[in-house]
Structure 1
């Protein structure tokens, strides 16, 4: 009986690993948009936290310090969304276990 239980557990672990690899690929391909200044700045990040697009309204190009702050806010917003979506996708695979990935 123990061997049957162990074989089943190994099969589940293998399936979990395959599912995790699949979800990791999904995460790499996803994108999240971060915004600031009511949409005047938009930043798109992919699942690897790389910026794929930045859109800045021309009206913001006159004040460098404000622009820098707003870009940082938009990036942090997008980053938070990527992190949250990644955790949600991984939670589905791990059954809620908090594994360090």
Structure 2
């Protein structure tokens, strides 16, 4: 394609690849909003659902834990479930990013965006 232009041809190729990467990253970001993960605590008494972007979308609490004397325990279980969901969301996002970079021939572990 731009053989007679030397390094300018390389630059055009790099720009094209960068544009492809930008498009794929935008698609991945959209996909992360549609992927859900579920975190739990208290052996499943509290579950939190979040998107792979970390947005909390659901919370399910088993009614058996509602004891007025155990308020702090319930709060801790809720926080633990939310934290678990957010940790899983971050791991899923990292996994999706790794797939994207490997699919484009970029080095494993490369942090994007720059």
Structure with larger RCO (C-alpha < 8 A, sep 6+): 1
Structure 1 counterpart of 2:77: 70
Pairs aligned (count) = 101
What do residues 56-80 of structure 1 show as CA deviations (whole Å, max 9, x unaligned)? Answer: 1111010211000000110010000
Task: Indicate if the aligned counterparts of 2:53 and 2:93 stay in contact, CA closer than 8 A.
Answer: no
C-alpha separation between the residues in 2 aligned to 1:3 and 1:33? Answer: 49
Q: Name the Cα RMSD after superposition.
A: 1.5
Query: How many Å separate the matches in 2 of 1:99 and 1:92?
Result: 12
Compute the TM-score of the two structures, normalised by the length of structure 2.
0.81
Asked whether 1:84 is paired with 2:91, we answer yes
Aligned residue for 1:38, secondary structure, equals coil
The TM-score normalised by the length of structure 1 is 0.91
Shift in Å at residue 51 of structure 1? 1.9
Asked if 1:50 corresponds to 2:55, the answer is yes
User: What runs of 5+ residues in structure 1 fail to find an aligned partner?
Assistant: none
User: What CA distance in whole angstroms lies between the structure 2 residues aligned with 1:100 and 1:8?
Assistant: 19
Q: Which structure has more helix as a fraction of its residues?
A: 1
Between structure 1 and structure 2, the one with the greater Rg is 2
**Unaligned stretches of 5+ residues in structure 2:** 1-5
